[in-house]
Copies of this chain bind each other. A is one copy, B any other.
């Protein structure tokens, strides 16, 4: 560990700095136009989980937005490993960011901008605190806001345009919950503020097919479900069907598999994590020990 980096480390403008000192240019259009993509990778027990999959998605997002990171896969990997090593964190939340950056000579043509790269590692973030394995998310289906449609902003390119999620968070807190779920214009379930959703309906495990980020935790759960012989399907998941679920859970790199135990104030099932959720959560954390998913940090 590097002294002063205990609370996290950042890589900005070519230098490693403590997270509290990390600054970006005020006029980077990553800020002033939210012209940016990013990815989040978890470090668990001293190793990155599915690092290549996250970096592949990040590169695909950059390509879709026509951003050119100044660092290739190998250089990016080295920076992320450095950040975690410097922070000394065994469990970390690691973010990698590419912005459109700065205009050259005042041009408004986005093809002419000088793209920028930032990254940081901080202690692991839990969207749902794991103190009690039966504790779950108190979710709220937002009534005042709809998810930004894909023909405006592509939800499969991880982005910071969270205006809809922030409205959803306000609504959730004001209605006594903490976890908003957003519908699309057609009334189908999409995702929440940083998490994908799954519902156990009959014997099927359902997750929205479109209008959401293609989460790596979501993908891991679909793979683990297949291995466990669970019939999992990506579908158009309308609100009425969603409400018939025996179990609901959310997935995120920031917390893994997280039971939703109430919806709009009403308990789901018996109001505790259900058996399929519990099984998949256990398998999810067990997968973190598999060498094929691990990129160890050399502390």
Contacts and interface: CB of A to CB of B under 8 A. Distances in A.
B33 A30 contact: no
Interface in A87-127: 100, 106, 108-111, 118, 120, 125, 127
A51 B234 CA distance: 52
Nearest to A23: B23
A16 to B, nearest CB: 13
Given A22-B27, A24-B23, A169-B110, A34 B149 contact: no
Contact of A153 (B32, B164, B193): B164
Given A22-B27, A148-B153, A162 B35 contact: yes
A31 B33 contact: no
A85 interface: no
Contacts of A166: 33, 35, 65, 100, 110
Contact of A31 (B24, B145, B163, B185): B24
A107 B31 CA distance: 22
A15 interface: no
Interface residues of A, number: 51
Contacts of A100: 166
A169 B34 contact: no
A129 to B, nearest CB: 10
A159 interface: yes
A145 B153 CA distance: 8
A148 B148 CA distance: 6
A68 to B, nearest CB: 14
Nearest to A169: B110
Nearest to A118: B26
A98 B185 CA distance: 30
Contacts of A127: 108
Interface string A220-262: 0000000000000000000000000000000000000000000
B27 A30 contact: no
Interface string A142-154: 0001111101111
Contacts of A163: 34-35, 152-154, 159, 161
A25 interface: yes
Contact of A152 (B10, B22, B27, B146): B146
B151 A145 contact: yes
Contacts of A26: 10, 12, 19, 22-24, 118, 120
A65 to B, nearest CB: 8
Contact of A147 (B111, B120, B152): B152
A34 B162 CA distance: 6
11 contacts: A12-B26, A23-B25, A24-B26, A24-B31, A34-B160, A106-B125, A109-B169, A110-B166, A145-B151, A152-B152, A159-B163
Interchain residue pairs A-B with the least CB separation, the first 6:
A23-B23, A153-B163, A22-B26, A34-B34, A33-B162, A161-B161
